[in-house]
Structure 1
Amino acid sequence: MDTTKQFTITREFDAPREAVWRAWTDPAIAAQWWHPHEVVTKEGSTRIDLREGGSYAYTMVIPDGTEYPTGGEYLEVREPERLRFTWADPGDEQREAPVITIDLAELADDRCEMTFHLLGIDDDRPSDHGVFDGWNEAFEELDDVLVRA
């Protein structure tokens, strides 16, 4: 894997670390935010086998109806502070899957800092709706889910 291709996003959430952990690991909650704005997660497509060597999968559906299956394998599971997993289209065997690491830190006043690191894809912020923007929008969706909870 090309280790020069990577980026990090750090966000704070007005929710306890355990709630942010659940949002990453409970399929019913993850289905509500594992997508950018204007995209939905296909009903019933989100599954999570939360263990090292376990897998997860979901399907995003864009407004024109095109479906994008996504999934990967859990490489590290340390509740409630760290998840590390591969992230790719399960049908794309042409390239090595990028690796995502999520670190969750407790902050004062029941807040949580999340550090999201993606290894294997460049920071593509200059483009319109690239991977960086897509994850940022997903984290805005996550923020809304946490506020509603």
Structure 2
Amino acid sequence: MTEQRASVAEATSDATAPQFTITRIFDAPRPLVWRAWTEQADAAAWWHPRGISIRPGSVAIDLRIGGRYAYTMVNDADGSEYPTAGVYREIVEPERLVYTWGNPDDRDAPVITVTLRELDGDRTEMLFHLLGIAAAPGDADVYDGWDSAFDVLAEHLATVGTGGDADGAHEGR
């Protein structure tokens, strides 16, 4: 296990800040799910909701504290582009990622925390928490976009490993 932390960048949860959580259980071992979050080729396969794709060659991942990642989503219907980028704040392989997320020019970018927990039978529970954006199921925006992306992740895991999404539990705040 590799662990990297930035003392000034610990993710904290302010109960009054806009935020939401999505929990998923994947039929894939934790190292495979970790790889999907941290390897360029894997991330390019699923870092988008349905109806959106990733511009070929746009994914860059520098997986270290203070390292940046970037990619560009493209709307399949009209070609609109959505550049996305952030900075890694905490990395505990293979169980936890904390990073900023948003437009590359965002000054106060939201913070995402992804926690992966091993379950019996080579399954993995993923807890995805986004601090800084109010969203809820059915919003046809950020929550539903991530929820759809996790469907794409389940499909990707099924093609590279032992399965897909066993069941999805979704919590919005």
Q: TM-score, normalised by structure 2?
A: 0.81
Distance 2:122 2:44 in 1: 24
Q: Provide the aligned C-alpha RMSD in A.
A: 1.4
Unaligned runs of 5+ in 2: 1-12, 161-173
Query: How many Å apart are 1:126 and its aligned residue?
Result: 4.2
Aligned residue for 2:166? none
Check if 1:144 corresponds to 2:155. yes
Aligned residue for 1:79? 93
Aligned residue for 1:135? 146
Report how many residues are paired: 146
Unaligned runs of 5+ in 1: none
Amino acid at match of 2:121: D
Distance 2:159 2:75 in 1: 24
Distance 1:126 1:132 in 2: 8
Query: How many Å apart are 1:74 and its aligned residue?
Result: 0.1
Match of 1:118 among 130, 152, 161: 130
For residues 66-124 of structure 1, the C-alpha deviation after alignment (integer angstroms, 9 at most, x for no partner) is: 1100010000000000000000100334xx10000000000000000000000000023
Aligned residue for 1:17? 30
Q: Following superposition of structure 1 onto structure 2, how do residues 1-149 of structure 1 map, counting pairs within 5 Å?
A: 3-63=16-76, 64-93=78-107, 96-127=108-139, 129-149=140-160
Distance 2:54 2:74 in 1: 6
Instruction: Note if contact 2:74-2:82 (Cα within 8 Å) is conserved in structure 1.
Output: yes
Amino acid at match of 2:81: E
Distance 1:121 1:115 in 2: 16
Identity in percent: 58
- Report SS of the residue matched to 1:32: helix
- Report SS of the residue matched to 2:50: coil
Distance 2:79 2:61 in 1: 24
Q: TM-score, normalised by structure 1?
A: 0.94
